[in-house]
Amino acid sequence: MSILVLGVVIFIGVHLVPSVPSLRQRLSKRFGNNPYRGLFSLVSLTGFILLVIGKGRAPFVPLWDPPAWAPQVAVWVMPLALTLLVAAFLPNSLKRFTRHPMLWGVSVWAAVHLLANGDLASLILFGSFGAFALFDMWSANRRGAELSSKGVPYWRDLLVIAVGAIVYMGFLHGHVMLFGVPVAFGS
């Protein structure tokens, strides 16, 4: 469990740096902007690898019994979470309605995985990411995050939905290979 906790602390810890603009500016000034970004990416990747390994090795410590319908909710809601993640990286109209499509995607991902899993490792992983995403939205809004005012053609929105569906299918069919856990479709 300690590898999982260390991975979460490192990954989320480095992602908290931008929420303190003075710290980010000092680090960027000290190392240079591109080396700072490289270091940020390296530390993020290290944390991510540790949390994936840690989650895979964590013992199953049950905390609650998820409802029988929870896996079905996850299966049906994850396309939304992944489409929101995709929307953060491609031009689309959604950015005119929310400043944080990626963070909303992470929040939805975390919520449905918490609903479908009732163990300690899942609470640590998904609970931490969900709490971080909500905090980061609040922090970014306080730092002046704004809605996009750009209009985009509708085909861009359709592209985001299509890519989100492709990513979803990839995760749905590769879940065991990627994470060692089959997608539970409920009873």
Given a cut of 90, whether residue 160 has pLDDT beyond it is yes
Do 186 and 98 belong together in one domain? yes
Task: Band the pLDDT of 171: cuts 50, 70, 90.
Answer: very high
Percent share of the chain, pLDDT over 70? 99
> How would residue 33 be classed by pLDDT, with cut points 50, 70 and 90?
confident
What is d(CA 154, CA 164) in angstroms, rounded to the nearest whole number?
15
The pTM score is 0.89
Boundary residue ending a domain (58, 74, 95):
58
Answer yes or no: are the C-beta atoms of 112 and 71 closer than 8 Å.
no
User: What's the domain range around 141?
Assistant: 60-187
129 shares its domain with 161? yes
Q: How many domains does the chain have?
A: 2
**Do 155 and 187 share a domain, yes or no?**
yes
Per-state percent for the chain, helix, strand, coil, to nearest 5: 75, 0, 25
